[in-house]
Amino acid sequence: KAGVTQTPRYLIKTRGQQVTLSCSPISGHRSVSWYQQTPGQGLQFLFEYFSETQRNKGNFPGRFSGRQFSNSRSEMNVSTLELGDSALYLCASSFGLAGADTQYFGPGTRLTVL
């Protein structure tokens, strides 16, 4: 079974631009979560989707948004990029929402904002 895939793997943008990152979950998984990883803040939760509905959102400004499609694929968008948005963005999928449902991560998208 294929793992979680994320595209693109690397991205370079300039301040003020917007960016869209894509995540394809493991086949059959309906929950997708996004995390931001930076050296200073560590791993921080962005948002979570299940069956096309955002269930939970972390403490990030409204410039960060996301959505999930009917095939469970998810996208996240960051508008008006700032230098501090440079980070590794990780997507994780799980089968459902039960306690033991493990989140499996993709390889990440490394975003650099210049």
Partner 1 sequence: AQKITQTQPGMFVQEKEAVTLDCTYDTSDPSYGLFWYKQPSSGEMIFLIYQGSYDQQNATEGRYSLNFQKARKSANLVISASQLGDSAMYFCAMRELQTGANNLFFGTGTRLTVIP
> Which residues are near partner 1 by CB under 8 A?
31, 33, 35, 42-43, 45, 48, 50, 55-56, 58, 88, 90, 92, 94, 97, 99-108, 110
CB 28, min distance to partner 1, A: 16
CB 40, min distance to partner 1, A: 11
Nearest alpha carbon to residue 61 among 75, 73, 77, 72 = 77
Cα distance between residue 30 and residue 35, in whole Å: 17
Cα distance between residue 21 and residue 48, in whole Å: 15
CB 49, min distance to partner 1, A: 10
